[in-house]
Structure 1
Amino acid sequence: MPAILYRGSLLLGSMAVFATATLYFAGAFNRDAVTAPKFVDLQQGDTPHAGFRRAHAKGICITGNFESIGALSSYSIAEVFKKGSTPFYGRFSIAGNNPTAPDLKAPVRSLAFAVNSGTVDEWRVAMNTPPVMAVATPEAFFQQLQALSPDPITKQRDPEKITAFFKAHPESKAFNDWKADYVPANSFAAERYHSINAFYLHNELGDKQAVRWVARPHKATNNAAMLDTSSANALQQELASRLDQNAVKFDLIFTLAASNDDENNPTIPWPSDRQTINAGTLSIVSWHNQENAACGDANFDPLVLPQGMSATADPILRARGAVYAQSYRRRAKETLLGAKVSATNGGE
């Protein structure tokens, strides 16, 4: 198949897959399904923070370049993997729906970025510190969030409810093993961030290869002396201090699935002996407050993929796009209404 026709078919296929997944998770095919609005209702809690993300509400914007070494160009026709430099913008964040939460209290940290923004070759990435999910379906993930949600009266989590959930879901073993051993770094720059879900790479011959990837810190020091543990913004301040001195760098290490690896189940780690390829380096050169930069309004939907990449059938991956979109619509509407109110009040 000629390359141009193949690229066109990939694009159309990706659009169809995204539309189907969005309709499914929005509840169009099953009235009893866990819908995106229900999911976001649970994430935001009883008192939403207007204008902010329903998950990972607190973050800091970053900009820089992805320096590709071309090592993935035989696996994917994506422009971003050709040898060269491409600007990106992105965001470090912590888990939770509170935009003023203490950085050091969050159990999960995240890295998101967008390369080739606004083009047909745009690649949006949303990564987290856990290497796997605890469960494999949107329905089970919804139940997990319910189990972890604080009691509306006591505002405390119920340990018995949490224990019962994980006992009923033995597939969460790999996640819980990671959680038991995980020691948070003293810096956003010293963490490892994982794609968690798998994706396909497509080359010019139409071959596809399932992959996961990790952002591995590039010579980052985990220096406790740089961290002001008394500050609610400790990680953001530490990152700003680092960037005042040097760029912060991560290598993007792709793991290639073998034929017996299940790319559709995000709870299963792939064996450590799988082939890995260093695609290049994310070089972060500046930071900005999220209220005044592109990342603040951005929707880092991982289903926005360039030609040469596509989504697997992983049901959680397919569901993420609809949830991200629902959260985005809510905060965009709140921001717009807030702006109208400010204008009516003379800009106060």
Structure 2
Amino acid sequence: MLKNNLQGLWKYRVPFLGIFSIATALVLAFAWTGGFLGTGVTTKEFLGDSLDHFPPGYRRAHGKGMCFSGTFHASGEAVPLSTSRIFLPANIPAIGRFSIGTVDPHAADNSTATVSMALMLVGDDKSQWRMKLNNEPYFATRDAEGFLAQVEAFEPVAATGQPAPDKVAAFFQKYPEARKSVEREANATWPASFAGTEYNSINAFVLIAADGKRQPVRWSMRPHAAVEMLSKEAHAQASHDFLFDEITQRVGVAPLYWDLVFQLAEAGDPVNDPSQPWPSNRKEVIAGTLEVNQVVEQTHGACRDINFDPTLVPSGIALSDDPVLAARAGIYSQSYNARLREIGFGKATDAVGKKEIK
């Protein structure tokens, strides 16, 4: 039985390895900030200064990005669910960032299938809601330790250049939920545009109403533009900056729009497991519409110095007990503090000419 299961999954080894080689820096940050390594060896001793080996001034994950600005048009539909003033019917400023899922800020846009949206909304009471969303619908594993286990299990053996089958088998035995992620990534098409992509919070949060009622939710930014995907063959032939060039051209012609859609959990839905999507028939509430009307190079845009830590939420929104969500705060803090030091000392470089930012 085990042999048959491995043979069925082994055809996915190449894309799976590619995905997690891109995610290695994020995985290391999980280890660094969460203390997830075994007893006897500290994370500092294990990692040394590996988190310092990044191009100065850039985020430690999703290093290549572009700032955007616009307006969030709150519909008022979420007011019964949360006391946050951000949901009151109004037009409020929005600052955000589009990015791709790679560490290298100079990487080709077709080096990854992951695209992301970060966003900060500021209410009339100066409260801030920061979020980070990806095009993946769920995490591969149920906890942060699983990211470390993935890297270790799928590390190529020197003799064969492929992962050791016994380690892969042990990983799937401990984290069976990762199988669906492997299969999805192996068969997935690739984003053709930031504009035609739906972005997902993945982690669960809790909306708190005026009467104290707590409603667990996940949310998505659902595009008004048609969803656009590329085959892997077309993606491989795409130009170096095709995603960023395309979004610049589109916003230059007309604004782009996404609906902020809450999915409401019901009793029994796994609120603390980001690897498990909720049933598609759960009730949805459209809290408003994001309008993006300007994009700017990230080294000069307003998003450059913003820490898009998704655990920074306003009154009326609370964090769930998702362990991956808890670990993310430390990751964002490490990256943000390092970038500020580098920019402050004039060590940061721009994305095109690689000139120092003073």
Normalised by the size of structure 1, how large is the TM-score?
0.80
In the superposition, relative to structure 1, how do residues 160 and 235 fare at CA in structure 2: closer, same or farther (>3 Å)?
farther
What is the one-letter code of the residue matched to 2:308?
A: F
Specify which of 54, 61, 64 is matched with residue 58 of structure 1: 64
* C-alpha contact 1:54 1:96 (8 A) present in aligned 2: no
Distance (whole Å) between structure 2 residues aligned to residue 323 and residue 56 of structure 1: 12
Secondary structure of 1:292 counterpart: coil
Contact 1:128/1:193 (CA < 8 Å) preserved in 2?
yes
- 3-state DSSP class of the match of 1:306? coil
Moved more, 121-130 or 109-118: 109-118
Within 2, Cα distance between the matches of 1:160 and 1:290? 40
Does the 8 A contact of 2:189 with 2:229 survive in 1? no
- 167-176 or 122-131, larger mean C-alpha shift: 167-176
Contact residue 125 and residue 301 of structure 1 kept, 8 A: yes
User: What is residue 284 of structure 1 aligned with on the other side?
Assistant: 292
Per the TM alignment, residue 137 of structure 1 is displaced from its structure 2 partner at its CA by 1.5
> Per the alignment, in what secondary structure is the counterpart of residue 332 of structure 2?
helix
Q: How far is 1:192 from its partner?
A: 1.1
Which of 259, 262, 273 does residue 270 from structure 2 map onto?
A: 262
Name the structure 2 match of 1:72.
78
Task: From the two aligned structures, give the one with the greater helix fraction.
Answer: 1
Aligned letter for 1:213? W
Q: Are 1:315 and 2:320 an aligned pair?
A: no
After superposition, the C-alpha distances for 1:289-328 in whole angstroms (9 at most, x for unaligned) are 0000121221100010011001001010011001110111
Where 2:304 maps in the other structure, the secondary structure is helix
The match for 1:239 is 247
The one of 193, 198, 201 equivalent to 1:192 is 198
State the alpha-carbon separation in 2 of the partners of residues 198 and 102 from structure 1: 31
Percent of paired sites with the same residue:
34
Query: Within 5 Å, which residues of 2 pair with 1:81-100?
Result: 81-100=87-106
1:248 equivalenced with 2:256 (yes/no): yes
Q: Is 1:116 aligned to residue 109 of structure 2? A: no
For structure 1, the 5+ residue unaligned runs are 1-21, 341-346
CA contact (8 A) 1:25 1:36 kept: no
Q: Indicate if the aligned counterparts of 2:79 and 2:88 stay in contact, CA closer than 8 A.
A: yes
Gaps of 5+ in 2: 1-29, 349-356
Query: In the TM superposition, what is the alpha-carbon distance from 1:220 to its structure 2 partner?
Result: 3.3
**Offset at residue 143 of structure 1 (A):** 2.6
Give the Å deviation of 1:144: 2.4
Query: How well do the aligned residues superpose, as a CA RMSD in angstroms?
Result: 3.4
Tell me the distance in 1 between the aligned counterparts of 2:39 and 2:124. Answer: 35
3-state SS in 1 of match to 2:185: helix
The 1:339/1:185 distance shift into structure 2, 3 A limit, reads: closer
Determine whether 1:333 maps to 2:351.
no
Q: 1:103 to 1:84 in 2, by over 3 A?
A: same
Deviations 1:258-289 (A, max 9, x none): 01101011011101111111111111000000
Distance between the aligned counterparts of 1:47 and 1:149, measured in 2? 20
Per-residue Cα deviation, 1:225-278 (whole angstroms, up to 9, x for no partner) = xx9955311100000110111111111111000011010110111011111111
Q: Which residue is equivalent to 1:179?
A: 185
Give the match's secondary structure for 1:49: coil
Partner of 1:105: 111
Mapped contact 1:193–1:216 kept (Cα < 8 A): yes
- Separation in 1 of the partners of 2:44 and 2:241? 30
